[in-house]
Amino acid sequence: MENTEVKAKIEWGVVFKLGLILFVISAVAACLLALTNYVTEGTIAAMNEQSNIEARQEVLPEATSFEAVSEADLADIISAAGIASADELPEAYVGMNGSEIVGYTFKTIPGTGFSGDIEMLTGIAADGTISGITILTMNETPGLGANATNPEFKDQYQGLSATEEVAVSKTGVSGNEIQAMTGATITSKAVTDGVNIASAAYQQLVK
């Protein structure tokens, strides 16, 4: 029996045609994605800014408008306050009610959470008391560290002094302290670190 060899013949014209079709499809898809991004970019930015304004008003309710602290002034504050890294204090705002300064808000990102960074906002009233905090993003354990977003924990900071360090207690509070969450002491301390970063910045800002 003779062995027959079958040799495949490549149709280069077909290959080229298919390659061209795939290239056109990819190019059209890329253009559509770019167009979609261009159209929605402004809307997304506006939504993000509105969310940031609402978060600032949550922690400093008396303010009706906010003025950003300049990058140069923020850098000076970070240096004078002894804050370890500029990443820990990415922004600060002066809260206004008409022409009156009613307080300040500070976004802090203490890198001491149990499951990573915690991005948060602290409001400090003009009289030097903490007016509120809110957690913007976190990856803490559900049912434990994630309880930092609950009012029962967050509200402990209201009325505490921003002119001295806030401490964390496991056994009951006195003075400028908050009660640690059960089973989530690391997260409690991380959030408090964020508040203390804000307090240190506040003390420099009002000098």
- Give me the pLDDT at residue 130, please: 98
Average pLDDT over residues 172-188: 93
Instruction: Tell me the pLDDT band of 46, cut-offs 50, 70 and 90.
Output: low
Burial 110-124 (b: 16+ CB within 10 A, else e): bebbbeebbbbbbbb
Each domain of the chain, given as residue ranges in start order, spans 60-205
- Give me the pLDDT at residue 60, please: 98
- Give me the pLDDT at residue 166, please: 97
- Does the structure show a pLDDT above 60 at 5? no
- C-beta separation of 120 from 136 below 8 A: yes
**Residues 61-79: tens digit of each pLDDT:** 999 999 999 999 999 999 9
- Round to whole Å and give the CA distance between 7 and 13: 18
- Does the structure show a pLDDT above 50 at 192? yes
- C-beta separation of 184 from 148 below 8 A: yes
- Give me the pLDDT at residue 128, please: 97
- Give me the pLDDT at residue 206, please: 93
- Give me the pLDDT at residue 1, please: 47
Burial class (CB in 10 A: 0-12, 13-18, 19+), 77: buried
- Give me the pLDDT at residue 104, please: 98
**Residues 132-171: tens digit of each pLDDT:** 999 999 988 888 989 999 999 999 999 999 999 999 999 8
HSE-CB at 201 with a 13 A cutoff on CA atoms is: 35
Average pLDDT over residues 84-94: 95
Instruction: Tell me the pLDDT band of 113, cut-offs 50, 70 and 90.
Output: confident
Instruction: Tell me the pLDDT band of 14, cut-offs 50, 70 and 90.
Output: confident
